[in-house]
Amino acid sequence: MEVTINNIRKEFERFPALNDVSLKIASGELIALLGPSGSGKTTLLRLIAGLDFPTSGKIFFGDQDASHHSVQERNVGFVFQHYALFRHMTVAENIGFGLKVRPTASRPPKTEIRRRVSELLDMVQLGGLEKRYPNQLSGGQRQRVALARAMAIEPRILLLDEPFGALDAKVRKELRRWLREFHDRTGHTTVFVTHDQEEALELADRVVVMSQGKIEQVGSADDVYDRPGSPFVFSFIGESSQLPVEVRDGTMLFQGQPIGIAEAGDGAGELFFRPEDVTLVDAPDALFGKVTACRRLAGTRIAEIDIANDGHAPYHVEVEVPLHAPIELGSETRFRPTRWKVFRK
Amino acid sequence: MSEDARSVLGNPPPFRNPADERPLAKILLIGLALVFLAFFLLLPLVSVFVEAFRKGWSEYYEALIEPDAAAAIRLTLLVAAISVPLNLVFGLCASWAIAKFEFKGKSFLITLIDLPFSISPVISGLVYVLLFGSNSLLGPILKSQGITILFAVPGIVLATVFVTFPFVARELIPLMEDQGTGDEEAALSLGASGWQTFWYVTLPNIKWGLLYGVLLCNARAMGEFGAVSVVSGHIRGLTNTMPLHVEILYNEYNFVAAFAVASLLALLALVTLALKTLLELRFGAGAAGGRH
pLDDT in tens, B134-143: 888 888 888 8
Kindly state whether A77 is in contact with chain B, defined as any CB-CB distance less than 8 angstroms.
yes
Contacts of B284 in chain A (CB under 8 A): none
pLDDT tens digits, residue range A179-209? 899 899 889 999 999 999 999 999 999 999 9
Is B190–A84 a contact, with Cβ atoms under 8 angstroms apart?
Answer: no
Rounded to a whole number, what is the distance in Å from the CA of A337 to chain B's nearest CA? 49
What is A292-309 written as a DSSP string? Answer: EEEEEETTEEEEEEEEEE
The average pLDDT across B162-176 equals 92
Is B188–A84 a contact, with Cβ atoms under 8 angstroms apart?
Answer: no
Kindly state whether B199 is in contact with chain A, defined as any CB-CB distance less than 8 angstroms.
no
pLDDT at B1: 45
- Tell which wins on pLDDT, A57 or A296: A57
User: What is the CATH architecture assignment of B55-287?
Assistant: Orthogonal Bundle (1.10)
Nearest to A80 among B182, B192, B205 (CB): B182
Q: How confident is the model at residue B288 (pLDDT cuts 50, 70, 90)?
A: very low
Is A101–B196 a contact, with Cβ atoms under 8 angstroms apart?
Answer: yes
Q: What is the maximal distance between C-alpha atoms in chain A?
A: 81
Rounded to a whole number, what is the distance in Å from the CA of A41 to chain B's nearest CA? 18
The enclosing H or E element of B153 equals: helix B153-164
Kindly state whether A101 is in contact with chain B, defined as any CB-CB distance less than 8 angstroms.
yes
Question: What residue spans define the domains of chain B?
Answer: 19-52, 55-287
Contacts of B189 in chain A (CB under 8 A): 49, 51, 71-72, 76-78, 150
Q: Enumerate long-range contacts of A173-181, CB under 8 Å, 24 or more apart.
A: A174/A140, A175/A140, A175/A143, A175/A144, A176/A202, A176/A203, A179/A147, A179/A203, A180/A30
Q: Name the burial class of residue B96, with classes exposed (0-12), middle (13-18) and buried (19+) by CB atoms within 10 angstroms of its CB.
A: middle
pLDDT at B172: 93
Is B182–A88 a contact, with Cβ atoms under 8 angstroms apart?
Answer: no
Rounded to a whole number, what is the distance in Å from the CA of A167 to chain B's nearest CA? 18
Rounded to a whole number, what is the distance in Å from the CA of A144 to chain B's nearest CA? 15
What CA–CA distance (Å, rounded) separates A17 from A53? 12
**What is the set of domains in chain A, with CATH numbers?**
3-235 (3.40.50.300), 242-344 (2.40.50.140)
Q: How confident is the model at residue B286 (pLDDT cuts 50, 70, 90)?
A: very low
Nearest to B191 among A85, A86, A98 (CB): A98
Kindly state whether B181 is in contact with chain A, defined as any CB-CB distance less than 8 angstroms.
no
Mutation target to probe the A interface, by most A beta carbons within 10 A, among B104, B189, B201, B282 is B189
Rounded to a whole number, what is the distance in Å from the CA of B190 to chain A's nearest CA? 5
Q: How confident is the model at residue B281 (pLDDT cuts 50, 70, 90)?
A: confident
- Does the complex come out with an ipTM higher than 0.90? no
The residue type at A34? L
Is A98–B182 a contact, with Cβ atoms under 8 angstroms apart?
Answer: no
